Every structure is written in structure tokens, then in C-alpha cells.
Amino acid sequence: MKNKYVFTGAFLVFIIIITVVIGVVSNKKDKPENESTEVVASFYPVYVIANNLLDGIDDVNLQSLSEPKTGCLHDFQLTPEDMKLLEKADIFIINGSGAESFMDKIISDCEGITIINGTEGIEGEEELLMHAWMNPIKYLMETENISHGLIDALPQYTDEIERNYKSYIKKVMGISVSKSKFPIFACNDVILFSEAFEPFAEYLGLNVLLTVDLDEEREVSSAEVKEVIDAINANPGIFIMVDEVYGKKLAETVKNEVEVKVYYIDPLTRGELTDKNYYIDKMNENIEILYTEGQ
């Protein structure tokens, strides 16, 4: 009788273990061998990284969650179509550091999806890492993080991803050479008409005196305009960096009131999905604008 109970107990433990194991496996998506791996990038800067790292890998289908002209994701709202895309995805690549405010819903609703966080483990303030790509040094770190995440998720493509990573970072590292050309202004203080430019200012060693964060829906108050003008008057040689899409109107208003240099900088969030060199070309253009017009 005792042996019978021992056998029964052991059998029940075996059944529980098998049930747990089967439960873990069932959380992963079952895909036929000939079906492509679906990868989704949250928005354009992250998409460009992934597009370079996955170059030439035919069995991986890369898509962008947001439209390539969306810009930053601060006010981005997930649609039912977005959720359908993510529910089918195997891998979701994000910038992280609060750039994607909708992550709680994805984690709860998209069972089995692998999330690669580009800024995880990078030292720095979250406000700066939210726009990490605007600092080429941080962008290199983010690219490395994403490459490691893709290799972990797609070990069968390790050689291809490593080869693409080495090729891409070699190009990105060329951006740093341009920094040596950056002119010494009479004043290293700067006013920003976009918080996305704060990491760029950090990269260039500039002192951000004031940030006015703009978007298509926000109206700038007269008090904010006065604050900008007062800062310019109190700091001779100060200049402004502006995202032309959202900040040109305010910049023209300020220039009508006080003499100041304005530089239109690309936030690198809007481009073509097929342009793998967009980040490198536009970042070099940003630095060239400051170098040429700052003489």
C-alpha cells in the first residue's frame, strides 16, 4: 500500500512538471520553418538601425510601427491596426527610456513577443536617452545593444548580423571626425526649440540655457517668447537650434524682435524606409550647418 502511494505521488509530480513545461513552450509563437520572422521597430531612428543590422537577411521581415514621417512618439496612440501588427510580431525593437509610453499595453497584450530595448544599460539621464540617437556616441551604444538583442533572438543569423554591425558602426564612427571641425562660438550657450536636441548639445559640449519643447499642437505663450528674448539679450553670442517643422514660426518671431543666429537642425526622425544611410547623412549635415554657418 505504501509503495502505491509513493508511485502515485511521483506520478502527480511528473504530471505537474510536464504541465509547466508545456505552458512555457506554449507562450512562444509556433512558426512553420518556412515562415519569415516578423520584426517591428517602434519608430524611424530605431528602424534605421534595424534595417542596417538585418541587411541581406531574406527570412526576416522588418516593419515600422509608426509612419516614417511621424517624428518622436511622445503623443503616439496605438490603433487596432498597430496592435494587430504587434500581435503577429516575433520581435519588437524600441528606443526605450520612456520614448514609447505605450509599452505596458504591449507587454500585457502581446504574448510571446521578444522586446529589444536599445538604451537599456546605457548610462545617462532618461530625458537624454529618450532621444539617444541625437548623440552619435549614444547612438553607437544603442546600435550595439540592438545587435546583441537580435543575435540572441536570431542566433541562426549571428554571422550576418555581426558583419552588418561592424560595417555600419564604421560608418557611424566617421561622424565623430566631423566634431573636430565644430567651431568655437563666442558663447557656448544655446537655446533649443526641441528637447530632442539636448543630446546633440551634450555631444557638442554646449550649455543648454533654455529648452522650449514644441510640437504641432502646442501654442507658445507670450511669456515663453519673452523668456527666450530675455535670455538672448542677457547672453551675447547665444544661438538657437530649431526643428524647422515645428519651430520655424517661433524662430521667425524671435528674430523679428532681437538679433540672434538660428540653426535649423534635423531631429532625424523623419525619412524614407529604404534609406539606410539617412542617419549618417543627416547627422553630418547637422554638424556641417553649425560649422559652416557658425564661421
Extract the C-alpha cell encoding 200: 546633440
Question: Which pLDDT does position 220 carry in this prediction?
Answer: 85
Segment 227-275, tens digit of pLDDT: 999 999 999 999 999 999 889 999 999 999 999 999 999 999 999 999 9
pLDDT at 30: 55
Q: What is the pLDDT of residues 56-101, one digit of tens each?
A: 999 999 999 988 777 677 667 889 999 999 999 999 999 999 899 8
Taking all residues of the chain, what is their mean pLDDT, rounded to a whole number?
Answer: 85
pTM given for the model: 0.85
Nearest to 187 by CA among 286, 266, 294: 294
Tell me how crowded residue 60 is: count the other CB atoms within 10 A of its CB. 20
CA distances from 153 to 39, 68, 260 (A): 10, 25, 50
**Helices 136-153, 158-179: crossing angle, 10 deg rounding:** 180
Q: What local confidence, expressed as pLDDT, does residue 216 receive?
A: 64
> Given this model, what pLDDT does residue 181 score?
61
Determine which of 14-23, 134-143, 178-187, 198-207 has the lowest per-residue pLDDT on average: 14-23
- pLDDT band, very low/low/confident/very high, at 179 (cuts 50, 70, 90): low
Which domains occur in the chain, in start order?
37-174 (3.40.50.1980), 189-293 (3.40.50.1980)
Residue 38 grid coordinates: 516578423
- Percent of the residues in the chain that have a pLDDT greater than 70, as a whole number: 82
pLDDT reported for residue 180:
57
Of 76, 68, 190, 198, give the one whose Cα is nearest residue 130: 198
Query: Are the C-beta atoms of 256 and 278 separated by less than 8 Å?
Result: no
Are 110 and 87 in contact by the 8 Å Cβ rule? The answer is: yes
* CA-closest candidate to residue 131, choices 19, 255, 288, 241: 241
